[in-house]
Homo-oligomer: A and B are copies of this chain.
């Protein structure tokens, strides 16, 4: 019997946690944070299932990377959440799989100049998401397997149990700064295996619970070169 697939509503705020898996920190040569940190993507970065391709920025210098992540979908306004499982259960109405697309050349330039990450993380189509995963289908968000394939080859595949800061702590941190609201999204960081994609590549991503993939969590999306917009010099 076919499941009825529900789209995510458009969020206002999309908060994305960085460096939340030790092996991913090592692969990018970054240091382990002493507390969570996050950046924001604009709502216009969201790419719904069937919403067309990921648009790779123009220019010879562009290096487009994927990062598969578990996404918490807020069910109500949450201000200064406690870092408890109960608070997380009350805050979250469901889950999704998302791909935090990143343009690494402009990210490295921003890091070198100590500038914000809003450009390198915020291009349109830079957040492909799955459908909404109902809570009952994903009862333990710290014990599921995220995976991502490029052209059929597995590139990322790890348990969310490897997170450095758990989801209650991430929700506590982000909402200690400013509230999240219903339909806002919290991306919880990516495991190891991030890497480049180029126009023509097809990315598949998803989540397995007890070894079984959830239909609601599936993403299949193609990469195409963007015709206009900001270009990254070689």
Contact = CB atoms under 8 A, between A and B. Distances in A.
Interface of A, helix, strand, loop or mixed by DSSP:
loop
A116 B37 contact: yes
A43 B177 contact: no
A12 B15 contact: no
Nearest to A12: B43
B12 A177 contact: no
A158 interface: no
A22 B205 CA distance: 46
Copies of this protein in the assembly total 2
A11 B117 CA distance: 20
A124 interface: yes
A124 B42 CA distance: 17
Interface residues on A, range: 35 or more
Contact of A114 (B42, B44, B114, B176): B114
Nearest to A42: B13
B45 A178 contact: yes
B38 A177 contact: no
B117 A116 contact: yes
B40 A80 contact: no
B42 A122 contact: no
A4 interface: no
A233 to B, nearest CB: 11
A24 to B, nearest CB: 15
Interface in A36-65: 37-45
A79 B41 CA distance: 16
A119 B18 CA distance: 13
A177 B123 contact: yes
A212 interface: no
**A31, A113, A114: residue with the most chain B Cβ atoms closer than 10 Å:** A114
Nearest to A176: B230
A118 B177 CA distance: 9
A228 B179 contact: no
Nearest to A231: B176
Nearest to A108: B114
6 contacts: A12-B12, A40-B41, A44-B179, A79-B124, A80-B229, A176-B229
